[in-house]
Amino acid sequence: MRADAQRNRDRIVEVARALFRVKGFEAVSMDEVAKAAEVGPGTLYRHFPTKESLYDAVLEAWAEKVNAAVSQALTLDAPARERLLSWLTDYASMLTEHKGAAARITAALGDPGSPFAAKCQTYLGANQRVIEALDSALRPGVDAMQISRLVGGVAVVVDSSELPSDAAASMLAVVADGLIAS
Amino acid sequence: MRADAQRNRDRIVEVARALFRVKGFEAVSMDEVAKAAEVGPGTLYRHFPTKESLYDAVLEAWAEKVNAAVSQALTLDAPARERLLSWLTDYASMLTEHKGAAARITAALGDPGSPFAAKCQTYLGANQRVIEALDSALRPGVDAMQISRLVGGVAVVVDSSELPSDAAASMLAVVADGLIAS
DNA sequence: TTGCAAAACGGAGAGTGTCTCCGTATAGTT
DNA sequence: AACTATACGGAGACACTCTCCGTTTTGCAA
């Protein structure tokens, strides 16, 4: 890749990140991103063939953050419920960091063709670590996909209604209590 | 209202209902509805100023269905958990009857200006009946809005990923167990 | 340093969707 | 039958995603 192309690509991602974070994916047009990045529309689409692939690039590398959150939750000296809740809270928090991301990523669960497939896999792997660590403390039949769907559902609602964190916390508490074996 | 206008309005709603149900709100254009109903675009917009208001007309009267589902759940001769789960299952089922409705109605919770405000109020009222009937069997602090958000979150995921009913059922079981006092 | 070729560029325009507005047609009443 | 208010259809405005082609620029070899 030429130096000018790399510069343009980086600039596009940086500009799009700022716009998407504040206004959300839907409310920002590709033309708006192109103008703000001072590139032509053709340039923007050459680097990112669809709006969705731009969004994937904008959302930062997740693997490190996800693994750090899981490790932190699992090293807590606390009952299984508290460790699970710590992970679910971080998970939902990451999903709601950018307006609209929760719905997109959650809808991509189970779809290998989605630009977000790698991110979904990261989450499923993290859930699997939690399941293995908490083992018989969890209700029978819990799997990684189910956790992602439950947390994703909560995050979508929190995001679309712009709920405060105490509302999110009480919803996640219900989910955690449902997942813990009775 | 003139007879021809009433006929056109009914026809538009009928045609839109069929299209939205199968393909979902986003995938059907207003032009497609107009053509299928054999009216001009101006006529369609005169009857329904926005696509959203057409959708609201399409979704059938909910009050009867909602109240019937709550009454059925509350007359079950069963433990509180089973009665709650019966209501949550019907609630989610109604939300997922039309593709895309779950996200719209759930996002409208708490927004009095939304075309779906009346539908949200119906659900909140129903939840309140359930809370009052089940009373101390529920965890402390549960309110009608929280139930709607939790069930709405599940329904959004079920709808957007087109999950089978057993996947929905196991998610709702987690939510119900979380809502029941431990 | 110069020349060349491949990579990268910008932006006009195609295609699609929501919505508006104005000349024309029709229903309902007298 | 005449008249008027209501209702109509569809061309076009506006906005968005995306494509394609003539022009420019970068990077490498001589």
- HSE, side-chain direction, 13 A CA sphere, residue B174: 32
- List chain D nucleotides near protein: any atom < 7 Å from a Cβ: 6-12, 15-21, 25-27
Assess whether A146 and A175 both reside in one domain: yes
Contact criterion met (CB < 8 Å) for B150 and A174: yes
Assess whether B113 and B160 both reside in one domain: yes
Assess whether B78 and B165 both reside in one domain: yes
Model confidence pLDDT, tens digit, residues A135-180: 889 999 999 999 999 999 999 999 989 899 999 999 999 999 999 9
- Number of structural domains (chain A) is 2
Single residue among A15, A36, A58 that ends a domain in this structure: A58
Contact criterion met (CB < 8 Å) for A161 and B103: no
Tell me the helix, strand and coil percentages in chain A, rounded to 5.
Answer: 75, 0, 25
Assess whether B42 and B73 both reside in one domain: no
Q: Shortest CA distance to B109 belongs to which of B96, B94, B101, B119?
A: B119
Per-chain mean pLDDT for chain B: 91
Å between B39 CA and nearest CA of chain A: 30
In our burial notation (b when 16+ CB lie closer than 10 A, e otherwise), range B87-99 reads bbbbbbbbbbebb
Note down the domain range covering B15: 3-58
Give B109's contacts (C-beta < 8 A, 6+ positions apart): A161, B120, B124, B145, B148, B149, B152
Residue B29: which CATH number? 1.10.10.60
Single residue among B14, B40, B58 that ends a domain in this structure: B58
Contact criterion met (CB < 8 Å) for B175 and A177: no
Assess whether B50 and B98 both reside in one domain: no
Quote the tokens at residue A40.
């032509």
Q: Give B180's strand partners.
A: B138
Assess whether A30 and A69 both reside in one domain: no
Model confidence pLDDT, tens digit, residues A96-108: 988 888 988 898 8
Assess whether B51 and B76 both reside in one domain: no
Q: Shortest CA distance to A170 belongs to which of B91, B175, B14?
A: B175
A161 touches chain B (CB under 8 A): yes
Model confidence pLDDT, tens digit, residues B37-65: 999 999 999 999 989 889 888 886 677 88
B165 touches chain A (CB under 8 A): no
Assess whether A34 and A82 both reside in one domain: no
Q: Which of B96, B146, B150 is the mutation pick for testing A, counting most A CBs within 10 A?
A: B150
Task: Answer with the residue of higher pLDDT: A158 or B118.
Answer: A158
pLDDT at B104 over 90: no
The amino acid that residue B14 corresponds to is E
List residue ranges whose Cβ is under 7 angstroms from nucleic strand D. Answer: A 2-4, 29-32, 41-42, 45-46, 49-51; B 1-2, 4-5, 8-9, 38-43, 45-47
Assess whether B27 and B93 both reside in one domain: no
Assess whether B87 and B30 both reside in one domain: no
Model confidence pLDDT, tens digit, residues A23-63: 888 889 999 999 999 999 999 999 999 998 898 888 866 77
Single residue among A58, A83, A104 that ends a domain in this structure: A58
Q: Which band of pLDDT confidence, cut at 50, 70 and 90, is reported for residue A118?
A: confident
Residue B82: which CATH number? 1.10.357.10
From chain A, the residues in CB contact with B143 under 8 A are: none
Give the angle A127-A78-B141 at the CA atoms, nearest 5°: 85
Assess whether A69 and A122 both reside in one domain: yes
pLDDT at A70 over 90: yes
Assess whether A45 and A69 both reside in one domain: no
Q: Give pLDDT, residue B61.
A: 64
Q: Give B138's strand partners.
A: B180
Q: Shortest CA distance to A149 belongs to which of A119, A94, A106, A179?
A: A106
From chain A, the residues in CB contact with B161 under 8 A are: 107, 109-111, 149
